[in-house]
Copies of this chain bind each other. A is one copy, B any other.
């Protein structure tokens, strides 16, 4: 870090890019985003190149940055191709090609020594035969690409249901994953600089609702953090990560950790790192991508997060109790400046507290304030 102002490019201008930019500015970093949506959240705190991700002039501008990162996994190959050799893109193409494709991702995870649920790649109708039996009789069919927040997924428990689900998905390449009886879902991020230096975020416990993350909690001294770090570090090294990636795990009753999914970026669960006294995941990604010094980032205080998701309309009774949130000690509001829409992530509330018991009590109150 020097007073010379580094320039960071971001592919995408949504709320993750917005929060990356908010974390970058105090580091002396200027930020430019390439994003086709005129009303995208990051426009408020970054130079906004309002153009498609494959726009040649826009990509030329990004190529003039010191490094380029991203806020979503499905970066068009043409965009990556246009930047290649002109500016470091972190994470890079080979990692993105793994993480955006569920079958390649799971294979590459196993090659790196990580465990996953049993799975079968479904590419032709013939792949359906016996697939359920191979994954334990019950499973989740997921499109190999472009799924997120529970979209492009269906639970299946017999052959007819599996065939129907695949037809419903338009016979695109899918993966059938065995259903796992897990104790809880946890996540952990790892950052790795261009020099190979590695740092970790905290272990975070996650609860989903309707396939979308609802609540995350981070308490000190989670017994499974060391194991999750070990897996994340192994994958980061094997995949030659530059930047930051987040592993979602199923934690089994016997303590085993299966990697469910990898995101090549900051993650919704890590938003709670913004207000707990430590470095945030957003600063960690900025640092890793620009080759700035890195250290493990973790909140110094017990903290949690609850997502604000469009609840199906503009009716006041379906909105969060804004006054109640403000009145609850330790809350930090984060709104993304997005138009209200059912099912859309509109913001989140972080909660910090001096001790875990206080956090748990206030978290229950907070959850009751957000529909």
Q: State the A residues within 8 Å of B (CB).
A: 1-3, 5, 18, 21-22, 25-28, 30, 44-45, 275-277, 279, 292-293, 295, 300-301, 319, 322-323, 325-327, 329-330, 332-335, 337, 340, 346-347, 352-354
Contact = CB atoms under 8 A, between A and B. Distances in A.
A300 B355 CA distance: 11
A342 to B, nearest CB: 13
Contacts of A22: 22, 25-26, 45
A323 B1 contact: yes
Contacts of A25: 18, 22, 44-45, 337
15 contacts: A1-B323, A1-B326, A2-B322, A3-B335, A3-B340, A3-B346, A5-B337, A18-B25, A25-B44, A26-B332, A27-B335, A28-B347, A279-B332, A293-B327, A300-B301
Contact of A28 (B26, B45, B279, B337): B337
Contact of A301 (B18, B277, B279, B332): B277
B26 A335 contact: yes
B347 A295 contact: no
Given A28-B335, A44-B30, A3 B319 contact: yes
Count of identical protomers in the assembly:
2
B1 A277 contact: no
A330 B276 CA distance: 11
A314 to B, nearest CB: 9
A31 to B, nearest CB: 8
A340 B28 CA distance: 12
A312 to B, nearest CB: 14
Given A1-B322, A1-B325, 16 more contacts: A1-B323, A1-B326, A1-B333, A3-B319, A5-B337, A22-B22, A22-B26, A26-B334, A27-B333, A27-B335, A30-B337, A277-B277, A279-B332, A293-B323, A295-B329, A300-B352
A225 to B, nearest CB: 18
Contacts of A301: 277, 300-301
Q: Which of A21, A44, A292, A354 has the most CB of B within 10 A?
A: A44
A326 B26 contact: no
Nearest to A274: B26
Contacts of A3: 319, 335, 340, 346
Q: Which of A3, A28, A45, A332 has the most CB of B within 10 A?
A: A3
A76 B44 CA distance: 28
A293 B191 CA distance: 37
Q: Which of A2, A5, A28 has the most CB of B within 10 A?
A: A28
A299 B292 CA distance: 27
Nearest to A319: B3
- 6 nearest A-B pairs in the assembled complex, by CB-CB distance: A28-B335, A293-B326, A1-B322, A45-B45, A26-B334, A277-B277
